[in-house]
Structure 1
Amino acid sequence: MLLHAANFRKLCWVLLLLTSTVASADNDKTQRELNALNEKIGSLKKSISKQQNERSSTAKALRNIEKDIGELAAKLHHTSNKRDEQQRKLNELESRQQQLRKQQISQKALIAEQVRNAYTLGKESQLKMLLNQEQPEKLSRTLTYFDYFNRARSEELSKYRDTLTELNSIKPAIEAEAQALAETNSELLRQQQALLQQKQQRANTLAGIDRDIVTKTSSLNTLDKERKSLESVLQAVEREITNIAIPASYKPFSAMRGKMPWPVKGKLLNRYGAPRQGSAVTWQGIQIAGREGDSVLSIHNGRVVFSDWLRGAGLLIIVDHGGGYLSLYAHNQSLLRTEGDWVKGGEAVATVGNSGGQRQAGLYFEIRHKGLPTDPRRWCQ
C-alpha cells in the first residue's frame, strides 16, 4: 500500500512537470508569434512612412499635430477614467461612513438601554431568588435569561468597538482619496488646456491645407490619393499580417452576422457603395456621426494589427478577427490600444475625433473579408 502511494505521488509530480512544460512551451509559442507579428507590423509601418515622405510640409505638420493630439487625448481619457474611479471610491467611503455613524447611534442607544435594565434588576436579584427558594423551573428560566442578557450586552459592546475602529480607519482613507482626486482633477485640467492649444495649431494648419486645395479637381485628386494610400495599407495587412490564430473560446466572426453592435452610436452619414463627392471613388465603409471623445468600441473579439496615423484616415486602428475578417476605425481623436493587443467585443479601442484633416467629429468604419470591403449594415444590428 505504501509502495502504491509513493508511486502515485511520483506520477503526480511527473504530470505536474509535464503540464508545466507544456504551458511554458505554449507561452513561448505565443510570445514568438507576438514578436513575429510586431516585426511584420514594424516593417509595414516603415514602408508606409517611406511612401508618405512626398507629402507637403503642411501635411506633415498636420500629421505631427494630430499624433500629438492623439497622445494627449489618450492620456486625458485614462485620467478621466481614473478620476471617475477615484470619485466612485470616495462616494463609497463616505456612504459607509454615514452608515457607520447611524449604526453607532443605534448601538449606543441599545447599550444604554441594556445598562438601564441591568441597573434596574440589580445583581442581587439572582441571590434573592436563591434565598427565596423559587420554584426550580422558574429559577432555571430566570437564570438563563440573565445569562442571555449578559452575553447580548457583551456582543453589543464588541460590535460597538468594531464600529468605532472602522470609523477611525475610514476617516484617513477618505482624506487620502479626496487628496488623490484633487490631484487627478488638476492633472485633468492641465491636459485639457494642452489639448486646446494643440487643437488651435491644428485649425491653423488646416487653413493652410485649404489654401493649397483651391479647386474641385485638386480636392478629388487628394481624395483619390488618400483612398489608394489606405488601400495599400489594407492590402499589406491582408498579405502579411492576417490569419493569426484566434483563441478557440472566441466566437467566429462569421457566426455574428447581423448581431454585432455598431462601434459608436450615431447617425449613418452615407450609403455603402455610393460615389464620394460625385467622383469615381466610392464609399467602402460607413461614416458615423459622433461626439468628440466618445469611446469607439471593437465590434468583436480580435487582435490589433495596426494602430497609427495614416494620410487621409488620420489616427487609424485595424482589428483582425480571424477567418480573413478585418474591422477598420478611422479619423479617431486618440488610439487606446496598440499593435499586438487582444481586444474583446465592446471594448474601447479609440475615441471619436476628426483626425486626417476632417472638419467634423465622426468615425469612418469598414469591415473587410479577404481583402474586399463588405457592407457594415449586414453585420451590425
Structure 2
Amino acid sequence: MKVRALLSPLLQLLVLLLLWLVLFQGTSFGEMDGADEQNKVRIHIGELQHDIKVQLDKIEEKNEAESQILNQLDEINRKVSRQKAKTTVLQRRLADQEKLLHDLKEKIDQAEEKRSRLQGHLLKRLRSFYMMGRVGMLNVTFSKKELPELMLFSDAFANLAAYDRNVVLQYRDAMNELEQALLSRELEKSLLEELVQQAEEEEQVLFVLRAEQQQLLKAIKQEKNIYQLAVDEMRKAEQELYDDLMRLRIEEKLDKEQGLLLGKGHLSSPVTGTVLYRFGDIIQTGVRKGDTIQGITVAIESGTTVHAVYKGKVVLADYKRGYGNAVIIDHGGKYFTITARLDEIFVHKGDRVEQDQEIGSSGDVATLYEPGVYFEIRHGRTPLDPLEWLQID
C-alpha cells in the first residue's frame, strides 16, 4: 500500500537526521587552528545550506502530493454525497413499494374474505335450486303453486344464478388483476433491493477509498513534518555555525590583540594546592638561594594533574634547563604561560589546547630538588604576577 511505501524514505530521513546530528552537533573545533576552524565552519555551513535545499525540495514535493490527495478527497466526498443521495432515493422508493405491497395484500385478504362469504351464499342458493329442481310435469302436478307462479319463480332463480355467475367472474378478474399487480410489485421490490444493495456497496467502496486517502494524507503530513523538523534543526545549526564563525573571527582578532588578557582575574589555577612562593619572593634555600621568583610555586600531592589555564598553542613540551619537564603555551597577544617541574607531559609541540585541558602531571621525582609545581605568565619577555590572573582557592 502507498502508506507502507512512505515508511522507507521516512526511516531513511530519520537515520540521516540522526547521523547529521552526530556528525555536526558533536563537532569540536577546539583542536584546530583559528583559520582551520573557520574553514571547517564555512564547509559545514555550505553543506547545511545544500541539505536545507534538499529538504525544502522534499517539502515542496509533499505539498504537491498533499494537494493532489486533498483534491482526490474532495472528489471522493462529492461522490459519497451523490451516492448517499442515490441510496436515500432508492431506499425511499423501496419503502413506498413495500407499502404498496402491504396495501395489495390487504386488498387480496379482503377479496378472499369476500369470496368466502360469497361462496357460502352461493352454496345456499345452489342447494335451494337443487331442491326445487327443474319445472316439469311432476313439479306442476304435485306443487301447491300454480304453473305461472312456478314459472316466475324459476325465471327469478335463473336470473339470480346468472347474477351470481357474473359476480364470480368479476371476482376472478379482480383477483387476477390483484395477483398480477402483486407479482409486478414484488418484482419491482426485488429490483429495488438489488439497487439499494449495490448503492450501499458502492458507498462502502468510497468509504474505504476515502479512509485510504486520509491515511495516506496523514502519512504525507507526518513525513513533511519530519522534513520541516530537519530544516528547522539545520537552520538552527546553520545559525549556530554562523555565530561560531563570527565568534571565531572575533576570538581570533582578540587573541591576536589581547590573548591571555581576556581571562585576567578569572583563570583557574593550573594545579590544586598551597602557594609556597609568590611572585617577587626571594628564594631562601637550595641551589637557587637568593634568586627572585618570577612566577609562583604551588605545593602539590604526588600524582597531581596539571591543566592549561587558557587556550592556546603548545610551543614547547620537553625538558628545559633550569625548569625540568616544562610546557610553554602561546596564548596570543604575545602572552605565554610556563608550567614546569612535571613528571609527565601529555601534550606535544604544535598541539592546540583548551582552557583547563590536562597537559601533564607532577610528583615526587619532578619536585626532588625544588618543591611544588612552578608556573609563570609572561608578556613577551616581561614576567607578570600570576596571582593577579588566577583564581586561587
TM-score normalised by the shorter chain: which range applies?
0.3 to 0.5
Bigger Cα Rg:
2
**TM superposition score normalised by structure 2:** 0.33
Name the TM-score, length of structure 1 as normaliser: 0.34
